[in-house]
Chains A and B, each alone.
Chain A
Amino acid sequence: AAGVIQSPRHLIKEKRETATLKCYPIPRHDTVYWYQQGPGQDPQFLISFYEKMQSDKGSIPDRFSAQQFSDYHSELNMSSLELGDSALYFCASTSRGPSPWEQYFGPGTRLTVT
């Protein structure tokens, strides 16, 4: 079965640079969530989109922005990167129908800021 695709899988950036993370949800899923998982930490919700509109916002820094496109893929844009942004970034997708809490996660993008 098709899964959530994230790219790139690994990214190394320097402080103050920008990064773009991409997420391709499972086909026919209309909702995308972004989570950040620091070393040894639980995933923290950043932002979500339903039908290309932002549906909720969590602890996402103002330096970060995201959007969902007409094909339902989503991109997380991160600017003025800081050392503390080093983490695993997960995208999860679901269908807003009968079980919206049933989220399926991608493999993650490991971002390292040096």
Chain B
Amino acid sequence: QKEVEQDPGPLSVPEGAIVSLNCTYSNSAFQYFMWYRQYSRKGPELLMYTYSSGNKEDGRFTAQVDKSSKYISLFIRDSQPSDSATYLCAMSAQGGSEKLVFGKGTKLTVNP
């Protein structure tokens, strides 16, 4: 079993929809939770990060972490065609080298 599980999709929504992306994890040492956006053949781009449990909002994006359930979410409001990309969750344990452990990524398409 992978440390981080993420539904690969694909997920297709109409423009303006609310998108919910999720990951579960098994390693209780993870303390830092990130969401990256990756366009085809490009490097991952850091969208948001949160520390421990709680919510964080940045414009149309909201990240939620529930450590008791080992479950994290990314919500995208008023989705746009430019949001079409693969979204990867990533996690890191406190201390050490802070290497990232990624989910497989969810491919999102927002249709005009």
Q: Which A residues form the contact surface with B (CB < 8 A)?
A: 4, 33, 35, 41-45, 48, 50, 55-56, 58, 88, 90, 92, 94, 99-108, 110
Q: How large is the interface on B (under 10, 10 to 19, 20 to 34, 35 or more residues)?
A: 20 to 34
Asked whether A33 lies within 8 Å of B100 as measured between CB atoms, the reply is yes
Query: Does B32 touch A at the CB level, under 8 Å?
Result: yes
Asked whether B43 lies within 8 Å of A90 as measured between CB atoms, the reply is yes
Q: Given A101-B34, A101-B92, A108-B42, are A55 and B104 also a contact pair (CB < 8 Å)?
A: no
Q: Given A43-B102, A55-B97, are A105 and B88 also a contact pair (CB < 8 Å)?
A: no
State how many angstroms separate the Cβ of B88 from the closest Cβ of chain A.
Answer: 6
Q: Which B residues form the contact surface with A (CB < 8 A)?
A: 4, 6, 32, 34, 36, 41-46, 49, 88, 92, 96-105
B-chain residues with CB within 8 Å of residue A4 when the two chains form the complex: 43
Asked whether B102 lies within 8 Å of A33 as measured between CB atoms, the reply is no
A-chain residues with CB within 8 Å of residue B42 when the two chains form the complex: 107-108
State how many angstroms separate the Cβ of A44 from the closest Cβ of chain B.
Answer: 8
A-chain residues with CB within 8 Å of residue B103 when the two chains form the complex: 42
Asked whether A48 lies within 8 Å of B46 as measured between CB atoms, the reply is no
Asked whether A105 lies within 8 Å of B99 as measured between CB atoms, the reply is no
Cα A42 to Cα B36 with chains together (Å) = 11
A-chain residues with CB within 8 Å of residue B36 when the two chains form the complex: 105
Cα A90 to Cα B43 with chains together (Å) = 7
B-chain residues with CB within 8 Å of residue A106 when the two chains form the complex: 43
12 A-B pairs in the complex with CB atoms less than 8 angstroms apart? A42-B104, A43-B100, A43-B102, A55-B96, A56-B96, A88-B41, A90-B44, A101-B100, A103-B46, A103-B98, A106-B43, A107-B43
